[in-house]
Structure 1
Amino acid sequence: MSSLALDPVSSQAEAECAREPIHIPGSIQPHGVLVVLDAAFRIVQVTQNAVQLLKLDPTELLGAGFKDKFPELFQLLTDAIAAETLGPSAQTLARQVSFGSEQFDVLAHRSPTDRLIVEFEIHAGAGSLDTLYPNVRNFIQTLGQLPNIAAITSVAAAEIRKITGFDRVLIYQFDEHWNGTVRAESRNDALPSYLDLRFPSSDIPAQARELYRLNRLRLIPDADYQPVPIVPAMDPEAGAPTDLSFAILRSVSPVHLQYMKNMGTPASMSISILDDGRLWGLISCHSATPTRVPAHVRTACDFVAQVLTMQIGAKSRSEAAAQRVEKHRIQSRLLARMAAEPNFIDGLLSQYEDLLGLTDAEGAAIVWDDQISTIGKVPPREEIETISNWLVANSVHDDVFVTNQASLDVAGAGIDAEAAAGMLAVSISQLYPSYIMWFRPEVVRTVRWGGDPRKSENPATGSLNPRKSFDLWRETVRHQAIPWTTAQVEAAGSLRSAIVGIVMRKAEEMAAITEELRRSNKELEAFSYSISHDLRAPFRHIVGFAELLKEILPAEEDPRPARYIETIIESAHSAGRLVDDLLGFSQVGRAQLTKIKVDMNKVVADALRTLQHEMEDRQINWKIDDLAPAMADPTFMRSVWQNLLANSIKYSRGTDPTTIEVTSTTDGEDTVFSVRDDGVGFDMAYVDKLFGVFQRLHRIEDYEGSGIGLANVKRIVERHGGRVWAEGLVGKGAVFYFALPKDVAGAS
């Protein structure tokens, strides 16, 4: 956060401010009367103004039964207790109850010490919640259409000002250090704008924030009010002041009243915004003149605040979830590359955009086996070594170390903030000092404070004074980076767990597997050589001798021998083609891919020229899009297209004239290519068999082929990091798809 150097104040003054008993002020604001009841419903405390407002002498009320003095209210109170609806939040028992010349709204709640507190608040004006319902309903409907938190808070500020009539409504968000920033504002010309201004945590001390968390709404109609004391000052049974944390009429700190006067806001109302029980921020309403807000308006505002809270929470969680999903995708690609490389470090560095994108960093360093590998913008090598030593000395092993001010937090490292003001580091070995570090550069920015945030101390009393000026006060913040988000920190920790738990602990197992694969590959090469030389020769001999035998047979005698010989020749040719296809299939898995930018239009045209002889005497209407390019091996891509196109040509023979479509589309990070025909199609119940070796869905007597072509397509596409699938309907044709990553990040 801010690097602001605040003026020092005495610890005694700070402590006194933190201990101020704002929840037990011993008095109330004068726009109502408060009575405290014990478990037997006897009045044990009452405010002094009961005689003026209720026309009842406090001495007559003390010790009397609430039922005797207020029989109708007693019935309402006991009904609420019986219904178990009476809790810490003020509940309205009755509206516009008359005492003397005044009308009151009567509210009740249970105090934290289980006292019953009844408040008689002077009725502030006509109206009901029903009259505000259309506005609240429209507000709720509008919220669901807004794209982000900024838009939601802006609309909410305007709605609260419309409902209440305050001159200025601010929506104020706390940061992790409890400094607050005005995120949204709605106002008229009576008060100045505070939009985007920051206010220090000392403006709302910890005990005040806790009260805001417990009691969502607080109203101060007139900052010049004279507090009305409670008599007796102490609860007779407890011997302590009564806790007024949830009282609507609760008196507020004199320091806060002076703060309001200095701000030029005689009246204010605050409504808390909570997120999972934590104080996210406040809706702060101000008026240039004393202002009373009726109970039904406060209820509407509280409801609006709760809806706003839910929307903020939902948007925050949605954005965080989306970021986590994206980080998981990146991590999956990193793990795939690590698995594909003999050295997992090479896998991490092979596509450095993903390693940086995992935490949205601008540079990264991997310290491993006394070697330092770097990408992007990083500190000098000697600083990285110093940081590594500091991490070792401070036992950063199991957790993620994170800071957005590394030059201050990594003591003695002398870090250059220009390259590494922010740092995120994880240990990737349980045995050796090895780390992945991500870096962010310094972001120099100007923070706009609502007045000089430095505390001032009264030299005569030693107490803290509220700030007197709220004029714009600018601070230049240096040596800090943009803070890391929770999703980014979690992604770094998850990658660490994957590396330590999978790569490192299974290093010996992976070495054994690598050796076994090397041996198997040698055996496969030997097997392929044997097939190439030892199997082809017998097939050639069978064909040759069968051709000779056919020539010496008399033509006019029995035709069956000639027919048998033709079958032998064709079977030998089929067996030879099968051997060739098997060899091709094995080579696809072992051959080196050479990826370049491939013009798919040229590859398809070349494949069609090769297949021209299969289209003789056919009526085929070709519909070929302008295909997107791909980063791929052109030789293997030609095999893919030739197999798919031949497949459509073959299985549409019975539907001439026929139409074959070739298209490409974009789907997220993939480019999807397809070949569609209106041939015999297939039953989707057997779609899983299509891409298997020797798997056929049609009789070989009807459609020739070895059953290896689509298996070759699948292997080639998957080696490019893509995927294949198909859709079909018997008698209605089929469509075959293959998708390639735009960056072709798959294994090879």
Structure 2
Amino acid sequence: MTQTALDSAPSGNGGSLDLTTCDREPIHIPGNIQPYGALLVLEPGTLRILQAANGTDAILRSAGSVVGATLADVLPPSVFAAVEQVEAATLAPGVTHLGTVRFAHDGGWRSYHAIAHRSAERIILEFEETVADEPGSFEDLYPHVREFLDSLQAVSSVQQLADMAAREVRRITGLDRALVYRFDEDWNGTVIAEDRNEALPSYLDLRFPASDIPAQARELYRLNRLRLIADANYVPVAIEPALDPSSRAPVNLSLSVLRSVSPVHLQYMRNMGTHASMSISLLRDGRLWGLISCHNAAPHRVPYHVRTACDFIGQILSLQLAAKEHASIAEQRHARRTISARLLGHMAAEDHFLDGLIKHGEDLLALTNAAGAAVVFGGTSALIGDTPEPAAVDRIISWLAEQRHDDDVFTTDNLAAAMPGAEALKDHASGLLAIAISQVHDSYVIWFRPEVIRTVSWGGDPRKRAEVEPDGLKLHPRTSFEVWKETVSLRSAPWHETEVEAATELRTAIVDIVLRRAEEMAGLSERLVAINKELEAFSYSVSHDLRAPFRHIVGYSQLLKNNEGPTLTERGHRYVDTIIESAISAGTLVDNLLSYSQMGRASMLPVSVDMNALTAEVIRKLDMEIGARTIEWKLGELAPARGDLTMIRLVLQNLISNAIKFTRDRNAAVIEIGCEPGQGENSYFVRDNGVGFDGAYVSKLFGVFQRLHRVEEFEGTGIGLANVRRIVERHGGRVWAEGQVDVGATISFVLPSGTE
């Protein structure tokens, strides 16, 4: 630790030790003060003293003797006159310097800074003893501060700012060492700037663990920007009584300038070889960014106004750091949004918008400074740049799908710590940034970064040490701050916040495109459903109404031929036969069309269908079509299907009937019916060695009224296979065909599997 270190005191009694005790220690209510002053806890309105601590005999004879008295009763008239505005002054937030007051002491005088602030429902009044020959006011130090402000004009980087601040603070305070200490995202700290003499060693570029400054200590640094410990060997002075008489709670000293610190922290300082320290908090947007941490080998009390000047420098530095970082982030955001705009343009120019990302991989990688990327959509993955093998990417996708992150964005620079088995992917995917682009399917855009092995220099072994003492285990601050090096592996370069933002914004844009297209498709689907219903109703009405006229044509034509046959010429008989044949064909077409339209409207009753028995039944019923022909049947074992029995019967009837029809010119006709069972579904096929078809026209095979053979060669209406497709698709399956002219055809279809 480079700063004021562990500002907490764990209680280590018992047979075991909780190493997180420091994280929970209530260091804002220590119950003690440092001895170079006095503290009074006052009741607002009456200014009655409720609690007191006296570190010097020049102010109070004893703390206990003043409790219950009013401030006017205890202080000399001249001092009370200087601080009687204490209540009005402390209405504002923060700490107020009321001025310098003097107390008589041993025939002479001692000067103190009177400082006040609000703490809950109480007023805390502190008297801090002045230092000999200290500046009389902040104005005395302003030339130094003004010189620092003037120098800022020439500074262009965070590093230059930190170097200048460390140099200026040490010059003003006269301390042996001044460091600028920056926190990372895990609250580990790194010394990024240093100014020192030879009294203390250099800590420049060393890292210190987050445990050196626990969370509650960081919160105190955020609330109270400046902290001084003048002597690591001081004897703390107790506040009397320990609890507030009204609230029965210890007084909150978060903003106190005299607040005592943990004995563990004081031991930590002594282990570092420092006997005085001062810290100045550096904030960015209200969050602790880092510290200016100062140390001295010997005890040293930095005067109040000097600390005020240092606090002012710290505030200026905080503003400059924030401005520099905001400017840098703004520049990066602008660059990434420019890339994002190009990607959106690429996506808009493609029929399938994700092709815009895939075809412009260099922009996709530049968006997040990644080495590789994968675009996963619709069950397929497109890999760009340096990525793991496709099988490994599939494992990452499955793992991401299991995580189900609420924000649909996942980022890590240590995938091996998050995903089992990811160590093997370190050369390509130690770092991962992924965005989910679908709420329904496992679709992602994923960026990869390789492992970057680096050595981190710590200021001593960062691990906490527990030692056995007579009263049990106790946590001790480490005693060595020699450089302790650690090799960090299985980590990539960390993802910058602007890179994560750019990925998130791209996800928003993609999801907007998907949703917009989904809305368009939903609207189109609604229109298509309505149109389809109208067409079905129309086809049903037409086919139903046409059946009777065609039957009449056939009937009256046959009556004409039978009753008036002797009077008809041979040509007249041919005309009547043609009328009868055409009417019968048209009637068959109408019947098939009616069946097709009904198939889309009919309700389904799914049951387990014995496909072996159903196939045998269909073949028996088609025996009339076979006649005297000889057909070699090859019937495999057919797994049961689940579906509507009537509809599946129609599928087999159409396919087997077609096989019989298209093999009638074969001397040795062969028809094979088989099955390939699957997981949750079965694939069936009907294969023949008939006339086949040209594979170039396979897309027309399942269309309504589509025929690949002339009606003079093979009768038919061109509706049978269209009906097959409609039935199979209504069952959630699919159908396809393979064929070769004069070799044969195979029609395959998939249905859900059933049980016997």
Residue 498 of structure 2: aligned partner: 487
Query: Which of 221, 225, 229 is the aligned partner of 1:212?
Result: 221
Q: Which moved more, 1:103-112 or 1:259-268?
A: 103-112
Residue 386 of structure 2: aligned partner: 377
Residue 332 of structure 2: aligned partner: 323
Shift of 1:512: 12
CA distance in 2, matches of 1:246, 1:512: 63
Query: Which of 466, 484, 488 is the aligned partner of 2:477?
Result: 466
Residue 47 in structure 1 maps to residue 58 in structure 2: no
Shift of 1:263: 0.2
Residue 28 of structure 2: aligned partner: 23
- Residues 35, 163 of structure 1: alpha-carbon distance in 2 compared, 3 angstrom cutoff: same
Residue 123 in structure 1 maps to residue 130 in structure 2: yes
Residue 349 of structure 2: aligned partner: 340
Residue aligned with 2:35, SS = coil
- Residues 201, 398 of structure 1: alpha-carbon distance in 2 compared, 3 angstrom cutoff: closer
- Residues 79, 55 of structure 1: alpha-carbon distance in 2 compared, 3 angstrom cutoff: closer
TM-score (norm 1): 0.64
Tell whether the 8 Å contact from 2:90 to 2:118 is kept in structure 1 after alignment: no
Tell whether the 8 Å contact from 1:102 to 1:122 is kept in structure 2 after alignment: no
Query: Which of 309, 325, 338 is the aligned partner of 1:300?
Result: 309
Tell whether the 8 Å contact from 1:77 to 1:93 is kept in structure 2 after alignment: yes
Query: Which of 232, 256, 261 is the aligned partner of 1:252?
Result: 261
Shift of 1:73: 3.8
Tell whether the 8 Å contact from 2:180 to 2:292 is kept in structure 1 after alignment: yes
Q: Which moved more, 1:157-166 or 1:203-212?
A: 203-212
Shift of 1:381: 1.0
Q: Deviations over 1:565-590 (max 9, x none)?
A: xxxxxxxxxxxxxxxxxxxxxxxxxx
Shift of 1:245: 1.6
| Partner AA of 1:140 in structure 2 | L
Q: Deviations over 1:464-508 (max 9, x none)?
A: 110100000000000001111111111111111111212553268
Q: Which moved more, 1:153-162 or 1:235-244?
A: 235-244
Residue 159 of structure 2: aligned partner: 150
CA distance in 2, matches of 1:469, 1:15: 21
CA distance in 2, matches of 1:36, 1:238: 13
| Partner AA of 2:482 in structure 1 | D
CA distance in 2, matches of 1:498, 1:244: 50
Residue 477 in structure 1 maps to residue 488 in structure 2: yes
Tell whether the 8 Å contact from 1:36 to 1:115 is kept in structure 2 after alignment: yes
Shift of 1:117: 1.6
Residue 502 in structure 1 maps to residue 502 in structure 2: no
CA distance in 2, matches of 1:164, 1:457: 36
Q: Deviations over 1:251-273 (max 9, x none)?
A: 11000000000000100001111
Q: Deviations over 1:89-146 (max 9, x none)?
A: 3322122523314523233333433221221211113313122111111212222431
Shift of 1:171: 0.9
Residue aligned with 1:459, SS = strand
| Partner AA of 2:209 in structure 1 | P
CA distance in 2, matches of 1:144, 1:503: 49
CA distance in 1, matches of 2:320, 2:429: 36
| Partner AA of 2:349 in structure 1 | A
Shift of 1:11: 7.8
Shift of 1:438: 0.3
Residue 93 in structure 1 maps to residue 102 in structure 2: no
- Residues 15, 255 of structure 1: alpha-carbon distance in 2 compared, 3 angstrom cutoff: same
| Partner AA of 2:51 in structure 1 | Q
Shift of 1:397: 7.2
Query: Which of 62, 74, 92 is the aligned partner of 2:67?
Result: 62
CA distance in 2, matches of 1:65, 1:396: 60
- Residues 362, 11 of structure 1: alpha-carbon distance in 2 compared, 3 angstrom cutoff: farther
Tell whether the 8 Å contact from 2:54 to 2:60 is kept in structure 1 after alignment: no
Q: Deviations over 1:281-328 (max 9, x none)?
A: 111100011111111101101111011111111111111111111111
Residue 247 of structure 2: aligned partner: 238
- Residues 88, 34 of structure 1: alpha-carbon distance in 2 compared, 3 angstrom cutoff: farther
CA distance in 2, matches of 1:141, 1:108: 31
Residue aligned with 1:457, SS = strand
Residue aligned with 1:171, SS = strand
CA distance in 2, matches of 1:11, 1:510: 65
Residue 111 of structure 2: aligned partner: 104
Shift of 1:396: 4.2
Shift of 1:243: 1.7
Q: Deviations over 1:430-475 (max 9, x none)?
A: 3321111100110000000000001001222322110100000000
Query: Which of 240, 260, 276 is the aligned partner of 1:267?
Result: 276
Alignment of 1:703-742 (within 5 A): none
CA distance in 2, matches of 1:78, 1:365: 71
- Residues 174, 297 of structure 1: alpha-carbon distance in 2 compared, 3 angstrom cutoff: same
Residue aligned with 2:85, SS = helix
CA distance in 1, matches of 2:519, 2:318: 52
Shift of 1:235: 2.2
Residue 79 of structure 1: aligned partner: 85
Alignment of 1:297-446 (within 5 A): 297-396=306-405, 398-413=407-422, 415-446=424-455
TM-score (norm 2): 0.64
Tell whether the 8 Å contact from 1:32 to 1:249 is kept in structure 2 after alignment: yes
- Residues 408, 347 of structure 1: alpha-carbon distance in 2 compared, 3 angstrom cutoff: same
Identity rate, percent: 50
CA distance in 1, matches of 2:55, 2:334: 60
Residue 135 of structure 1: aligned partner: 144
- Residues 60, 435 of structure 1: alpha-carbon distance in 2 compared, 3 angstrom cutoff: closer
CA distance in 2, matches of 1:228, 1:492: 55
Residue aligned with 2:311, SS = helix
Query: Which of 177, 191, 194 is the aligned partner of 1:182?
Result: 191
Query: Which of 98, 101, 120 is the aligned partner of 1:113?
Result: 120
Q: Which moved more, 1:411-420 or 1:170-179?
A: 411-420
Residue aligned with 2:468, SS = coil
CA distance in 1, matches of 2:181, 2:99: 33
| Partner AA of 2:119 in structure 1 | P
Alignment of 1:561-710 (within 5 A): none
CA distance in 2, matches of 1:510, 1:58: 81
- Residues 293, 427 of structure 1: alpha-carbon distance in 2 compared, 3 angstrom cutoff: same
Tell whether the 8 Å contact from 1:96 to 1:123 is kept in structure 2 after alignment: no
- Residues 414, 298 of structure 1: alpha-carbon distance in 2 compared, 3 angstrom cutoff: closer
Alignment of 1:535-546 (within 5 A): none
Residue 37 of structure 1: aligned partner: 42
CA distance in 2, matches of 1:463, 1:206: 20
CA distance in 1, matches of 2:180, 2:109: 35
Tell whether the 8 Å contact from 2:358 to 2:375 is kept in structure 1 after alignment: no
CA distance in 2, matches of 1:86, 1:304: 26
Shift of 1:13: 2.6
Residue aligned with 2:249, SS = coil
Q: Which moved more, 1:397-406 or 1:378-387?
A: 397-406
The count of residues paired between Structure 1 and Structure 2 equals 503
CA distance in 1, matches of 2:375, 2:60: 79
Tell whether the 8 Å contact from 2:388 to 2:428 is kept in structure 1 after alignment: yes
Tell whether the 8 Å contact from 2:277 to 2:294 is kept in structure 1 after alignment: yes
CA distance in 2, matches of 1:341, 1:328: 20
Tell whether the 8 Å contact from 1:48 to 1:231 is kept in structure 2 after alignment: no
- Residues 397, 388 of structure 1: alpha-carbon distance in 2 compared, 3 angstrom cutoff: farther
Shift of 1:76: 3.9
- Residues 512, 208 of structure 1: alpha-carbon distance in 2 compared, 3 angstrom cutoff: closer
Residue 210 of structure 2: aligned partner: 201
| Partner AA of 2:134 in structure 1 | A
